[in-house]
Amino acid sequence: MRLMGLGPWPGNPKYCSGCFKGLYHSRAGAEIDCTLLFADIRGSTQLGESMAPASFRELMDRFYATAAGVLVDHEAIVDKFVGDEVIGIFIPAMTDGHHAAQAIDASLDLLRATGDDTDAPWISIGIGINTGLAYVGAVGTAEHVEFTALGDTVNVTARLASLAGVGEILVTDASARAAGLTTTDQQRRRLDLRGRSDATDVIVLTLRPESAASG
């Protein structure tokens, strides 16, 4: 089946790549409600300076593989690896409509998988999660096409990930509502995101010990 172009789809190997051929060929997509997850390594520049290039590459490969495995387990599309960041897209069709809840569950599992539920993670990450309207589909040129998400929802998620502390998940109110997350006893934070006129309210989730999370 691989020889016929019907192997596993790189975005999520649970799906057949043949189902997406038409989208890639015509660079098609649609505006849909979805949830974005950005997981960002904290202190990657310092890590790169302190390690041999080959060792740093091995660490990054371990992070990419770990994050991709968690995302696929939670029915996400593995969008891309960008430097020290992994991006996942959760869409209604692949999550039975529970895209926000799946994204939050995936983020908690990713903290556990990287050791960020302890005070000694093997790699330190921060995560941003946001829900809203985005263009999801195949974009690019005839020579290079990617399946990705575009729009303000994506941009906000990227900024949240860059501001998340070690072991923190910053979840927008939109995602919390869509997931039915109980927020009464959760820590809240108001953020001024670059390029946005209004502050963004988020819920801060963490699995780390209180002393480590506060540091």
CATH number at residue 173: 3.30.70.1230
* Regions of the chain with pLDDT less than 70: 1-6, 210-215
Position 91 scores a pLDDT of: 95
For residue 98, the enclosing domain spans 30-214
Identify whether 7 is part of a domain: no
Say what angle helices 99-113 and 53-73 make with each other, to 10 degrees: 140
Identify whether 107 is part of a domain: yes
**Would you tell me how many other CB atoms lie within 10 Å of the CB of residue 6?**
13
- Dihedral sign from CA coordinates of 169, 175, 177, 181: negative
Q: How many domains does the structure of the chain reveal?
A: 1
Identify whether 1 is part of a domain: no
Summarised one tens digit per residue, pLDDT across range 100-142 is 999 999 999 999 999 999 999 999 999 999 999 999 998 988 7
pTM over 0.85: yes
Task: For the chain, give the percent of residues with pLDDT over 90.
Answer: 69
Identify whether 34 is part of a domain: yes
Helix residue ranges, H only, 20-151: 21-26, 44-50, 53-73, 92-95, 99-113
Task: Report the C-alpha gap between 107 and 16 in whole angstroms.
Answer: 25
Task: Report the C-alpha gap between 132 and 151 in whole angstroms.
Answer: 9
Task: Report the C-alpha gap between 94 and 75 in whole angstroms.
Answer: 6
Identify whether 11 is part of a domain: no
Summarised one tens digit per residue, pLDDT across range 68-79 is 999 999 999 999
Q: Which of 53, 205, 199 is nearest to 125 (CA)?
A: 205
Residues whose CB falls within 8 Å of the CB of residue 110, separated by 6 or more in sequence, listed in order: 39, 66, 67, 70, 116, 125, 127
Position 184 scores a pLDDT of: 82
Task: Report the C-alpha gap between 167 and 205 in whole angstroms.
Answer: 8
Identify whether 3 is part of a domain: no
